[in-house]
Amino acid sequence: MVKGKVEPSGNPFNSIAQLEFEKGIPRNPFINAGALVITDALSTLHQNPLEEIHAFINEIVGRTCVQIDESVMNSEIAHSERNTALAYFLKAYNNFENNIQEVIRTYCGQCAIELCCADLARSFSFLANHGYSIFAKREILSPLDTQRINALMLTCGFYDESGEFAFRVGLPGKSGVGGGIVAVMPNKFSVAVWSPPLNGKGNSPKGVKALQMLREKLKYSLFEERK
C-alpha cells in the first residue's frame, strides 16, 4: 500500500531529514520522496513503467513527442546518491516494494524526458477541462480527482516556494528542475514556460515572472476572473 500525504513540505524538495522525521511517508507526490513512491507503484503495476509513461504522455499530447535525453539520464543515474538514500529510507519504513536501482533508473528516465513548451502545455490541458483530454479523446480523471490534483499543484507544486507562487500567480502549477513550469486555469487554458536558470528552491524565477505578467495581462487566476 502506497503511503503519502498532500501537505506542503516547507523543506527542500530532496530533504532526507523530513522523510525520516515523518517515518517514511512523503509530504506530497511532487517532492523527490513522493515521486519515488509513485514511480515504485508504477513499477509494481507495469513491467516496463517508463514505456507506459511515454505512451501516456504521447496520448494526452495527441502525437508522438516524447524523447529521452540520454546524457541527462546517465548524469542523473551517476549522481543519484541522495535519491537512492531516500528510496532506502522509504523501504526501511515499508513504503517501497521494488528493486531500488531499477526504480531509480525509471525515475531518472522520467527526469530526462524532453518536451517542447507547446507539448508540455497540451499534456496538462485535461486538468483545465474537468479531467477530459481533447487530444486523447477520453476522460483521464474524474472532475473530482481533477479538482484535487489542481489543489495539490496550487499548494505543493513549487516545493517550499508554493505559497509565494500562489500569492504572485494564483494558478495551479508545477515546476521542473529543467527550468520548465506548467500552469492551469480551470475552464480556460494550460500554459507552459521555460527558462533553465533556477533559484535556490529549484524553480525558474524568469518562468514565474512570465506567468505573473501573463496573469496580470489576462486577469485570470483562481482568485480573479475577468468578466
List, as one string, the DSSP characters of 99-136: -HHHHHHHHHHHHTEE--HHHHHHHTGGGGTTTEETTT
Is pLDDT above 90 for 1? no
Torsion sign (Cα): 72, 205, 30, 215: negative
Architecture of the domain delimited by 16-114: Orthogonal Bundle (1.10)
Q: Which residues contact 100 (CB under 8 A, 6 or more apart)?
A: 84, 87, 88, 91
Extract the C-alpha cell encoding 122: 497540451
Asked, colleague to colleague, whether 16-114 and 117-218 share their fold, the answer is no
Is pLDDT above 60 for 172? yes
Which of 218, 204, 202 lies closest to 192, judged by CA?
204
Torsion sign (Cα): 211, 215, 216, 218: positive
11-41 pLDDT per residue, tens: 788 889 889 898 999 999 999 999 999 999 9
What is the fold of 117-218? Answer: Beta-lactamase (3.40.710)
Domains of the chain by residue range: 16-114, 117-218
Is pLDDT above 90 for 2? no
Q: Range with the lowest mean pLDDT among 6-20, 30-44, 123-137?
A: 6-20
